[in-house]
Amino acid sequence: MFVFPSKTDTFGLVLLEAMACGCPVAAYPVTGPIDVIGSDGPGALNENLHEACLAALRIDRNEVRRFAERYSWAAASRQFLSHLHPFTPTAQEELRLIEQGAIGE
């Protein structure tokens, strides 16, 4: 598990890095961890960090990894490209290839 003891980090990129390795996260329920992990994500949030750690030990590492994949470069690229309007034919083709997994992973 990855223990994140900060109460002031605004996003917590290290949380995503840990989760990409399949490491559940234990953290305080503050801005950053709440934004990344949410209420039912791949980590445990609790004002009592010891309790958060104990809860994080019960989280399936494979689920943690799958959750982190939502923040991959390919996912970020898909989200970005989906907001471009109007699409050029080239951009439409690139988005189609990304969605098929042909490029971007």
Q: Which pTM was predicted?
A: 0.70
Q: What is the pLDDT of residues 28-68, one digit of tens each?
A: 999 989 988 887 779 999 999 999 999 999 999 999 999 99
Are 23 and 35 in contact by the 8 Å Cβ rule? The answer is no
Instruction: Kindly list the structural domains of the chain, giving each domain's residue range(s) and its CATH number in brackets, ordered by start.
Output: 2-69 (3.40.50.2000), 72-99 (no CATH)
Better-scored residue on pLDDT, 10 or 67: 67
Task: Kindly tell me if the per-residue pLDDT of 76 is higher than 60.
Answer: yes
**% of the chain surpassing 90 pLDDT:** 48
Task: Kindly tell me if the per-residue pLDDT of 14 is higher than 60.
Answer: yes
CA distances from 90 to 7, 31, 73, 87 (A): 44, 39, 20, 8
